[in-house]
Chain A
Amino acid sequence: MDYVLLTEQFLNGFQLGIILFLMAAGLTLVFGIMDLVNLAHGSLFMIGAFVGGTLALLTGSFVIGLLLMIPAMLVIGILVEVTALRTLYPRDHLDQVLATFGLILFFNEAVRLIWGPEGLVVPLPESLDGIVSLGFGITYPVYRIFIIVIGLLVAFGLYLLVSKTRIGMLIRAGASNRTMAGALGVNIPKLFTLVFGIGAVLAGLAGLIITPITQAQIGMGEDVLILAFVVIVIGGIGSIRGAFIASIVTGVIDTLGRSFLDVVLLLFLPANAAESAGPAVSSMLIYILMAAILFFRPQGLFPPKGAG
């Protein structure tokens, strides 16, 4: 097998993993702390892409658009939490699934009304447009490296925030015992709003940084959302570390499966069977992985400590 192609595809998988992590981190925080299943997280991914993309086009700079997107998504996230989701915390998961499903329909249609049905094209920022050599004859687009670096920085920042700061301590306290933390004087509703805002920013960031590659489209967050579900099921709900590892594993396996599975199948299948089975099996690969992991560890690979 060609090692240049293999490395490139590996990096592509890693980059998909980074996008998944940005989504899964928010989802798993919101679920772990507030016990809320939020399907509309995919809508936040889409809104981040459209709002950030518009800001980038207006200011003429992708980086400024990205920086402006962060406070914008924080505000949007807080608005969504305060107006719609807050009432759902005491409800059961079914109500949460249904209400956030309703929100998805609303957000998709709202985006269609504002930006039109054809979506939004955001060009690659010029400074990041190009290909860089990584040695050994391997070349890779600068922009994809930019995505990987941003993702790793955010992952590290999130780790610092959760494990080293006072806010992180409150978040962990709220996650392990809401009532007790509240009794000790933590303003739980305010903390929830903040955590949801952070989740919204992460989802919006993921949506925006992938947009120059895929374009902003209506419903773009939904496939990513379901992949992020797979990720947090594999990683263990509520665990950021689990979400990170599972994201990268999922991203890499999915990407490598799509590019190399037909080659692997050729080893023990006739050519035409391998060619037709390749795409079918590779699209199922990560779900098979999820099923296998659940079979042995129903709580996921890294269930958070103290969670029941």
Chain B
Amino acid sequence: MGALKNPANLFTALVLLIFALTPVVAPLIGESFYVTVFARIMIWAIAAVSLNLIMGYGGLISFGHAVYLGIGGYTVGILAFHGVTSAWIQWPAGILLSGLIALVFGAISLRTKGVYFIMITLALAQMIFFLSISAERYGSDDGLNILTRSDFGIGFFSLNDKLTMYYTIFAILLASVFVSWRMVNSRFGAVMRAAKSNDTRVQSIGVSTYRYRLTAFVIAGMMCGVAGLLQANLERFVSPDMMNWHRSGELIFMVVLGGMSTLFGPVTGAFVFLMLSEILASWTHHWHIIFGPFLVLVVLFARGGIAGLLTRRCERD
């Protein structure tokens, strides 16, 4: 249990334990709504894990990552609208479409660097956002209700069951962390990290960093698309607001808050970010007036996020 001596790891373990046990504990203390709250948080955590793949390990600050939530979500919504409810069609379609759009967006935006990259990913995401607003058939601004959840056609496995839904999300969250762990510690991940610290040097030894980055961009897009599929199924509703650029900003924040380029940082970041939002929002309707400056202070004084803060304290002791 040596790893748990580091408070950052202890905190991660605590968050995972909360995720794992909520459906068991929450009904006992009569607060069943926490099951939905944590299901929602875990979906954001999956999206944050996917963003961390390119932002934390690849140094690619994508300011349009929430667009893939929308792509995944709208795939479920639009297919269900046309009567296609089989998960075996919806889910592969959502993942493929997210990957395809990430391929196009990545191919364009990865030609640029730095601030250009930030602005272009933002602008391209905004394009899909406006597209969803102009789609009158699918509800425009008002969004689209989903009458039936994705149907896996397996008797005992139905997303209409609250517990099945919850633990499916939990399992996918763990799987996404596992995928990013495998990626980061592979040769592929080594190239990504090397390209982040010195792009020219990696290129000069004959590696096309563009192709590696594009691949990572597509994988991250697909992973975030899965989060979108889950969100549409949980809420039974999709709307353009899923890919509002504020959502992309919040995703970046979750990653930074938890600790960029750490495996579980995005998970704890999403947890703290969304719990804090819930708590502040229950205090005052105008909670953004506290939350905004809080974000500024985190940026100014807490570099490395929660993981950084906790680890630093541990090293000082």
Contacts from A to B (Cβ < 8 Å):
31, 37, 39, 84, 87, 91, 93-95, 97-99, 101-110, 112-113, 222, 226, 229-230, 232-233, 237, 276, 279-280, 283-284, 287-288, 290-291, 294-295, 298
10 A-B Cβ contacts within 8 A?
A98-B298, A102-B295, A105-B291, A108-B288, A229-B122, A233-B116, A233-B123, A283-B131, A287-B126, A294-B112
CB distance from A110 to the nearest CB of B (A): 6
In the complex the two chains form, is B292's CB within 8 Å of A109's CB? yes
In the complex the two chains form, is B118's CB within 8 Å of A97's CB? yes
Give the CA-CA distance A295 to B112 in the complex, in Å: 9
In the complex the two chains form, is B286's CB within 8 Å of A109's CB? yes
B82 at the interface (CB under 8 A from A): no
In the complex the two chains form, is B289's CB within 8 Å of A113's CB? yes
5 closest Cβ pairs, A-B complex: A106-B292, A102-B295, A105-B292, A109-B288, A287-B127
In the complex the two chains form, is A291's CB within 8 Å of B295's CB? no
Q: Which residues from chain A contact B63 at a C-beta distance below 8 Å?
A: 97
Q: Which residues from chain B contact A295 at a C-beta distance below 8 Å?
A: 108, 111
Q: How many residues of B contact A (CB 8 A)?
A: 43
Q: Which residues from chain A contact B119 at a C-beta distance below 8 Å?
A: 229-230, 232-233
In the complex the two chains form, is A233's CB within 8 Å of B286's CB? no
Give the CA-CA distance A232 to B116 in the complex, in Å: 9
B256 at the interface (CB under 8 A from A): yes
Closest residue to B109 on the A side, CB-wise? A294
CB distance from A11 to the nearest CB of B (A): 23
In the complex the two chains form, is B293's CB within 8 Å of A102's CB? yes
Q: Which residues from chain A contact B137 at a C-beta distance below 8 Å?
A: 276
In the complex the two chains form, is B118's CB within 8 Å of A101's CB? no
Q: Which residues from chain A contact B300 at a C-beta distance below 8 Å?
A: 87, 95, 99
Give the CA-CA distance A96 to B256 in the complex, in Å: 12
| CB < 8 Å neighbour of A105 from B135, B256, B288 | B288
Q: Which residues from chain B contact A37 at a C-beta distance below 8 Å?
A: 115, 118
In the complex the two chains form, is A287's CB within 8 Å of B123's CB? yes
Q: Which residues from chain A contact B116 at a C-beta distance below 8 Å?
A: 233, 237, 294, 298
Give the CA-CA distance A226 to B130 in the complex, in Å: 12
Q: Which residues from chain A contact B87 at a C-beta distance below 8 Å?
A: none
Give the CA-CA distance A287 to B131 in the complex, in Å: 11
Within 8 A of A (CB), among B127-147: 127, 130-131, 133-137
